[in-house]
Amino acid sequence: MKLTLLPVTREGYNIIPRLEDRKLVLKLSGTFDMTSANALQLYLDQVSTEARRQQALELVIDVVDVYYLGSNCIKSFVTLTVGLQTGTAGLLLRVITNPRLDWQGRAFSVLARIAPQRVVVEQSP
Amino acid sequence: MSSLSPMQPERLRRFVSVEFSPSSGCLGSIVSMVTDFCRNVVDEPQTRFAFQLAAYELTENLVKYATGEKTRVSISIEGSVRGPVLVLTTVNDSTPERLEDVRKRLEAAETATDPIQHFDQLIQESIATPGESRLGLGRLRAEGELLVSHSIQGRTLTIQVSKTVRRREEVTRS
């Protein structure tokens, strides 16, 4: 099934989606502060819809090249996690972090605390 | 700005301060000021990130909630008996309703004995509340491991976040 999500390129950040079998992958890069919060929330709403439409088994969010994530954007990921818990049976959310950016593990670990059976936060090799 | 090595407590004070009219357009400049300062005085990446986080979160709050034309952000490092302390300070005016709300949230963040548990509680409240996240102040303690303090005088709110940092030579040796 063709992916309906489009890549996003804005001043300061990018989001590149791709589909690998039944794995939906989002590659985020740049800085996600208050100026990008609304756009990120809208995009993640679409991701949630697309994951259901594709009957994806896994949603991979690669944040290796993300240099800052504001609290509004963390809330967007929290909303995504809660939505996936209730709307997509069996879907696993895998967050790939940069081992050289310790803050990423701390910031995204909150998602694993919300849904420990459905969220994995792991470092990029 | 210069590095702080070798340490001489009586000379150990550096600071940068800026007054501005809050708008999202100045966010990047304020954060750059803070991160450049930290890069010059601190070697620890985690501390640098903690203050970058604080600069973003507190300046975003200024943009959203400050009233009046002038707000102030300062970053300083000074000596103490425990070693050098890095301090980020914001000063702004706001409405009485807003000040009362932020007072409650600051006191909760400041007195939380387990900052991560406090942050998780804020997350749960945030799930039930559409709109703004209200996570930033809790995040400064949970993720940044920063001390947070505040004062309110009239309509003026002052927030300080601070951390005792290691001397450059200690970082080099460890």
Q: Cβ B143–A102 below 8 Å, yes or no? A: no
Supply the pLDDT for residue B8.
46
Q: Cβ A71–B127 below 8 Å, yes or no? A: no
Mutate to test the interface with A, among B23, B27, B34, B53 (most CBs of A within 10 A): B53
Residue at B41 is within a domain: yes
DSSP one-letter code for B137: H
Residue at B78 is within a domain: yes
> Which residue among A33, A78, A103 sits closest to B27, beta carbon to beta carbon?
A33
What is the extent of the structural domain holding B100? 15-167
Q: Under DSSP, is residue B140 helix (H, G, I), strand (E, B) or coil?
A: helix
Tens-place pLDDT, residues A6-65: 999 999 999 999 999 899 999 999 999 999 999 999 999 999 999 999 999 999 999 999
Closest CA to B38 of B49, B48, B28, B50: B48
Structural domain tally of chain B? 1
Mutate to test the interface with A, among B124, B143, B146 (most CBs of A within 10 A): B143
Q: How far apart are CA A39 and CA A27, in angstroms?
A: 15
CA distances from B147 to A15, A36, B65, B95, B161 (A): 34, 28, 22, 25, 5
Residue at B49 is within a domain: yes
- Please say whether the beta carbons of A77 and A118 come within 8 A: no
Residue at B100 is within a domain: yes
Q: How far apart are CA B3 and CA B96, in angstroms?
A: 41
- Please say whether the beta carbons of A42 and A78 come within 8 A: no
Residue A83: CB atoms within 10 Å: 17
Residues 33-92 of A with CB under 8 A from B: 33-35, 68, 70-72, 74-75, 78-79, 82
Residue at B174 is within a domain: no
Distance from CA of A14 to the nearest CA of B (A): 17
Q: Cβ A71–B139 below 8 Å, yes or no? A: yes
Q: Cβ B143–A78 below 8 Å, yes or no? A: no
CATH code for position B33 = 3.30.565.10
For chain B, the residues whose C-beta falls within 8 A of a C-beta of chain A are 24, 27, 45-46, 49, 52-53, 56-57, 60, 63-64, 119-120, 123, 126-127, 132-133, 135-136, 139, 142-143
pLDDT value at B172 more than 60: no
Residue B117: CB atoms within 10 Å: 11
Chain A residues whose CB is inside 8 A of the B66 CB are none
Counting DSSP H helices and E strands in chain A, the numbers are 3, 6
Tens-place pLDDT, residues B75-126: 999 887 778 999 999 999 999 999 999 999 999 999 999 999 999 999 999 9
Q: Report chain A's C-alpha Rg in angstroms.
A: 13
Token pair recorded at residue B45: 């990446």
Distance from CA of B8 to the nearest CA of A (A): 31
| pLDDT grade for B12, boundaries at 50, 70 and 90 | low
pLDDT value at B4 more than 50: no
Q: Cβ A110–B123 below 8 Å, yes or no? A: yes
Residue at B40 is within a domain: yes
Mean pLDDT: which of A58-62, B2-6, B18-22 is highest? Answer: A58-62
- The strand pairing partners of B158, in sequence order, are B91, B151
Distance from CA of B138 to the nearest CA of A (A): 10
Residue at B7 is within a domain: no
Supply the pLDDT for residue B1.
35
Residue at B130 is within a domain: yes
> Which residue among B49, B56, B127 sits closest to A70, beta carbon to beta carbon?
B56
Q: What is the ipTM of this complex?
A: 0.88
The number of angstroms, rounded, from the C-alpha of B142 to the middle of its chain's C-alpha atoms is: 13
